Structure 1
């Protein structure tokens, strides 16, 4: 601990000396750009959220997916169709401001080849249909206009990256800062899934932990710097503990601290359910939901059946 303290002191001295050498004024504090807590609360309360498509699911998330935060969505293998949550988010983030949305664009990083553009088109049509239903007399007033609400427009608002190895994944995440600086209208970054290549190709677990830790810190920084949501899809695996196999999050215990919020999607009988497992400000909660031809929606009945999608 003494060595770490001394190292910090040495760094501060070096910075101070560099400022004097350059003729710059001495900083009034160690860090610049500090915010007071009241401003932080006001900013948080004024933030819009990205709708999941289900009001019940939005409810347990405090309004939807939060900007300036990293949300992990955990998929059980038999619940793989629920990855359409992330596909729907890439559409819903584009809902115009006139209709209560963010009017932003999406970055979709696909590591598994599971992005189906035909299905995305279908979800975009469902989103437009809902807008028409909920705002039947609003189109002539909206600056976006009814004519601009076309599926093609929603698809053009998704920047898609296909990743085939963990080295490509690292490279794209490192490239994101430059990309987001050039595309300031992006309001969500989705990685589907963050897990795949690091489980398949990475043998050095200690190195993997360090690399993933660095990537998660970078993603958190990007979410705050560019006021966007980061959504990471993860998987579950089995771990042998106390004489039996138990389900646990992929990528190990250290990865479990890398997100702000964690949402677990699973089946309960014939019902799809979402469980908010982690949040800094919201209580643990669960709710049923459904996957329809339009995408994620509220469960129609308490015992909704599985919906066949394409």
Structure 2
């Protein structure tokens, strides 16, 4: 039985879930002292480890230098990379949503593209990392991953031929299966499983080095279905978002979350916005909304502390995300 179904107050359920106790079996195995700490909100976990309350300080000068050496994951679309400052940034949490009609499958392609591109070797401008893919809706398409992986290897070979004629790096000969082996796939079927998995990721990444991106497709699905206790939902989402932010900073990796789009009544009219409300909008560093501009797909930076609001065209091809095929490729400032 899941903790979320227990006949106790919402605050107690929230504290147990936030402490990592998602099932009755987990509670039964825990000591009385650990349960007491969970009930009072102290951050000891079921595995006996505790989180640090206060982290080490950092000067603004250190932060500025860190920015200069930031790592990025290419989207395979030059126009989109340009408005993002180089691609999807490590240490940031990026949220992506699409307007009705843009296509859930099409957005999924962009997430798969990132899971493949994070593995591009450093000699080709990549990170040579691995990916964690959390699937809440069962929409992950391994055949599509293989197709994009094959295209990525072909692109690297073409790059090598143009820029490294006197060098033949062994990475060019990597097989698409190698790319698939570096994508850790998790299927979660409830919000309690989703929370438990994210609590476990710190340990998983410690054991599996070189993870450079965590993808959640989608972060909203289990929190929008049959969730009656809105106060508990807000608490759990905030705890989950905080853990993802800490993972991004601690391991210098990118977190990318897919969100769904809804409508909100603002200043006398209904406007499209991402789901889960205003409080959730503070849970990400950057927010990207995908939309149609005529017959052309565009990505719009809706929120970012360091990037200008701008939109760029892109296209979805059999090889993955690429530059728009339109003759009009101007980047639009919003």
TM-score, with structure 1 as normaliser: 0.83
Aligned length: 274
Per-residue CA deviation, residues 215-265 of structure 1 (Å, 9 max, x unaligned), is: 001100010001100000001113356776442221111101100000111
The residue that corresponds to 2:316 in the other structure is: 291
The 3 A distance-change label for structure 1 pair 299 and 212 is same
Q: Is the 8 A contact 1:108 1:191 kept in 2?
A: yes
Per-residue CA deviation, residues 163-203 of structure 1 (Å, 9 max, x unaligned), is: 11111111111111111111121000000000111011311
The 3 A distance-change label for structure 1 pair 142 and 68 is farther
Q: Is 1:110 paired with 2:110?
A: no
The residue that corresponds to 1:162 in the other structure is: 187
The residue that corresponds to 2:293 in the other structure is: 268
The 3 A distance-change label for structure 1 pair 140 and 103 is farther
Distance 1:242 1:33 in 2: 43
Per-residue CA deviation, residues 123-169 of structure 1 (Å, 9 max, x unaligned), is: 11111111111221638746543322x21111111000011111111
Q: Is the 8 A contact 1:112 1:192 kept in 2?
A: yes
Given candidates 51, 69, 86, the residue that maps to 1:63 is 86
Q: Give the deviation of 1:35 after TM superposition.
A: 2.1
Q: Give the deviation of 1:279 after TM superposition.
A: 1.0
Q: Is the 8 A contact 2:133 2:215 kept in 1?
A: yes
The residue that corresponds to 1:41 in the other structure is: 64
Q: Give the deviation of 1:122 after TM superposition.
A: 0.5
Q: Give the deviation of 1:37 after TM superposition.
A: 1.8
Over aligned residue pairs, what C-alpha RMSD do you find?
2.0
- The equivalences for 1:93-242 within 5 A come to 93-136=118-161, 138=164, 141=167, 144-148=170-174, 150-240=175-265
Q: Which runs of 5+ in 1 are unaligned?
A: 1-29, 305-310
Q: Which runs of 5+ in 2 are unaligned?
A: 1-52, 330-334
Q: Is the 8 A contact 1:71 1:260 kept in 2?
A: yes
